[in-house]
């Protein structure tokens, strides 16, 4: 009962949180013909209209990224308790992703109450779901609050993505088959799925919960001299 009352304390503010503008200029899209990197030019004003509590720097940073996937939750508590694996639905925006305004609009159409829901948006640097750690943005439908990777965090993830892409290229030049590459990518996706659950990989034990990992002895390697 307390949760219901908390959700209805600020009905007007919540209703204003995600009024997605239909009058903003269309998003432009640029793709590097060599690397495949994608950069969007989305209306920053449109993003701020969609999420009034988002600051300008965050909106500017996320106006350039394609959103490739979103995970939906009943509320923020559901996400905090179980991470990505507690989502009740996930959607991949194939084949090219959406800009942030379109992605938010897609989410809000699927939430019955204007003061409900929690979403985790995953961006990419090209037209595919990241197999490295993706840039993430979280929006709370109950409060209108936004939390997201900043420009520095996104740059680190971009560098990790670029290194992985170069590794894929080296594997191809060494004659690794497409089937083998797909298996490697599937293994990476499995690893990310496990990490999303809060699990860790331990030597000779495999994937275990964070609680077990904290109490398990670690393999200590001798220091290099």
Are 173 and 113 part of one and the same domain? no
Q: What is the pLDDT of residues 63-104, one digit of tens each?
A: 999 999 999 999 999 999 888 888 999 999 988 899 999 999
- Compute the mean pLDDT over every residue in the chain, rounded to the nearest whole number: 80
Are 113 and 40 part of one and the same domain? yes
Are 26 and 130 part of one and the same domain? yes
Residue 200, classified by CB atoms within 10 Å of its CB into exposed (0-12), middle (13-18) or buried (19+), is middle
| β-sheet bridge partners, residue 21 | none
Predicted pLDDT at 13: 42
Residue 82 lies in a domain: yes
- Smallest CA-to-CA distance from 65 within 15, 124, 134, 146 is with 124
From 133, 150, 167, the end of a domain falls on 150
Are 122 and 58 part of one and the same domain? yes
Are 35 and 68 part of one and the same domain? yes
Are 127 and 186 part of one and the same domain? no
Averaged pLDDT, 45-49: 94
214: part of which helix (H) or strand (E)?
helix 210-215
pLDDT at 21 over 70: no
- Smallest CA-to-CA distance from 38 within 73, 67, 78 is with 67
Are 107 and 168 part of one and the same domain? no
Residue 133 lies in a domain: yes
Averaged pLDDT, 9-24: 43
Per-residue HEC secondary structure of 168-188 comes to HHHHHHCCCCHHHHHHHHHHH
Residue 220 lies in a domain: no
> Cβ distance 117 to 88 under 8 Å?
no
202: confidence class by pLDDT, cuts 50, 70, 90 = low
pLDDT at 195 over 70: no
Return the percentage of the chain with pLDDT > 70, whole number.
68
Are 39 and 24 part of one and the same domain? yes
Q: Judge if pTM exceeds 0.85.
A: no
Are 183 and 111 part of one and the same domain? no
Are 126 and 164 part of one and the same domain? no
Domain of 189 in residue numbering reads as 156-215
Count how many domains the chain has: 2
Are 119 and 210 part of one and the same domain? no
Q: What share of the chain is helix, strand, coil (3-state, %, to 5)?
A: 45, 20, 40
pLDDT at 19 over 60: no
Which of 160-164, 194-198, 209-213 is most confident?
160-164
Q: What is the pLDDT of residues 139-157, one digit of tens each?
A: 999 999 999 999 999 999 9
């Amino acid at each position: 009962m307390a949760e219901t009352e908390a959700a209805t304390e600020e009905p007007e503010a919540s209703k204003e949180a995600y009024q997605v503008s239909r009058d903003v200029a269309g998003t432009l899209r640029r793709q590097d013909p060599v690397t495949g990197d994608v950069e969007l030019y989305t209306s920053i004003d449109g993003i701020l209209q969609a999420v009034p509590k988002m600051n300008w720097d965050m909106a500017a940073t996320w106006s350039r990224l394609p959103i490739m996937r979103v995970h939906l939750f009943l509320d923020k508590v559901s996400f905090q308790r179980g991470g990505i694996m507690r989502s009740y639905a996930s959607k991949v925006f194939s084949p090219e992703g959406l800009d942030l305004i379109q992605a938010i609009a897609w989410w809000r159409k699927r939430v019955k109450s204007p003061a409900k829901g929690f979403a985790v948006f995953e961006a990419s640097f090209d037209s595919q779901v990241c197999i490295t750690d993706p840039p993430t943005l979280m929006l709370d439908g109950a409060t209108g609050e936004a939390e997201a990777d900043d420009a520095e965090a996104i740059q680190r993830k971009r560098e990790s993505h670029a290194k992985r892409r170069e590794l894929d290229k080296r594997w191809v030049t060494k004659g690794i088959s497409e089937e083998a590459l797909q298996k490697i990518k599937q293994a990476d996706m499995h690893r990310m799925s496990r990490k999303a659950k809060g699990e860790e990989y331990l030597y000779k034990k495999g994937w275990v919960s964070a609680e077990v990992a904290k109490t398990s002895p670690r393999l200590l390697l001798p220091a290099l001299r």
